[in-house]
Structure 1
């Protein structure tokens, strides 16, 4: 796979305080009325991750400055859902893959809670020589999560999900990068990295450092099951 430097497309973005949303879903399960009124139920599913806010299910990228004067992220990661369920006690779908996008520009639409963005689709880069190290990197990432599990509330459930996940190493990195309490700087660096082996190695180093840091603790930002 390669970085397609020419393909661009238009995607609707919904920006709320501290979040930017790629709102396309196969079915609207539960979103604030102001958002749901602007979302077409049959749009292609392009969501990065989610969290449950009371009885509302929201799709999101990463925490970012709010729409009033804040900057949008330079990159984002979008995922594709296989299906959507209406059981609000669980995530309403299963993630098939993730894709990187570079935000070329974002323009306010109507009011400042909705943006339209031109994005460049970026393919994950996996060289032939990289395939030899992918299995070890994948196993190492899971071991690194196990090493910090006691410091993170809910990590045991995440590990069970990952053990059952049949996703690529790149997607696994994206799941971990979103759910684990890494710094915003590290999260954005992982978003911008199209080379899968380098992304996995960077994330593994960060998790190993966190395991040895007595100050490291936190909780998951919700689950992103595969």
Structure 2
């Protein structure tokens, strides 16, 4: 009751998304147990973090909501780029999503320039994501590879994903991204953008198919 409400809930959700999400089934079961005890709870004072005095069960109710494959009408696009081609595809996908579904919130992040915890909080809120990387040394960029490791650890469920990327020679990035996202528990849609060199208007026209697939119910 003494903290800024916006900051409080933002940080609470960020903590849940980046720390507790893998344990969501345990969180839900434990809350069910506590509620069944019908105990009067006047204050929740954790060993670290906020102390909940005013309506302390409000954070319990939020944890319960977040523990059940939480998502909002949001799509998050995360990428890294070498010569801005993959970046152009990312922003075109975002533009197409906004045009096809104006009510859907779209957020775009460069993985190399954004705190990974901030991106994961947005992934937590999203119904779908799109991940992009150019091909480098028959692989994806190391920044994207490390980010995908963290994504896998968080065990998100019931979310769609799409892949995209540019290449100069061999073009393995989209295949690798697809495999890694499937391993992370995402339902990866069939449409993708695999672009030789920088995208032209014809390539960018193909992003609408990705946008539509991510928005399908």
Task: Please indicate the TM-score interval, normalised by the length of the shorter structure.
Answer: under 0.3
Structure with a larger share of its residues in strand: 1
TM-score, scaled relative to structure 2 = 0.28
Which protein shows a greater Rg?
2
Higher helix proportion (structure 1 or 2): 2
